[in-house]
Amino acid sequence: MKILYRFLFALHAFVGIGAIAGGLAAILNPQEPLGMSIEFLKNSPFNNYFIPGIILFTIIGLGNISSALTIVLKSRFQGYISSVFSWALVIWIVVQCVMLNSVHFLHILYFIIGIIEAVLSMIIIFEQRLFPANLVLNLYKKIRIKQNQA
């Protein structure tokens, strides 16, 4: 399990640092962050990258950094926190692809990273027997007992 925690920490740190850098670039230069043309936003509700930059910086960037910190600090709720920000990354990528009306390699990469983070988060929730894992495991146990009695 130690490898799982280290791998999840590395993923959250990687995504968090990248999102903070990308979000900061969009906040500081909302017209053309990192060379990204404003033309890509023609199908979106945004005129520039300022609001997406704030969302990227705070939710994806700081959220993933906080998820990494909960792993280091061994928080009881690290599975939940990691899961929330993993799914936030997945949703961010899907919405971004829809708004930009395109899919690039980095979208696919970060989508896969988000799914991996979510799966690892669920493993932690099941390992710690937190809700809803405790309900699922208790139900499974009752089913197994009834099967053994039959």
Eight-state DSSP code of residue 62? I
pLDDT score for 140: 75
pLDDT score for 113: 98
Q: Which two tokens stand for residue 80?
A: 């939940």
User: Distance between CA 134 and CA 105 in Å, rounded?
Assistant: 38
Vertex 101: Cα angle to 98 and 102 (nearest 5): 105
Other CB atoms within 10 A of residue 79 CB: 24
Enumerate the domain spans of the chain. Answer: 2-149
User: For the chain, what is the radius of gyration of the CA atoms?
Assistant: 19
Rounded to 5 degrees, what are φ and ψ at 109?
-60, -50
Successive 10-residue mean pLDDT values, the chain, 150 residues: 93 98 96 89 90 97 97 91 97 93 94 97 86 76 77
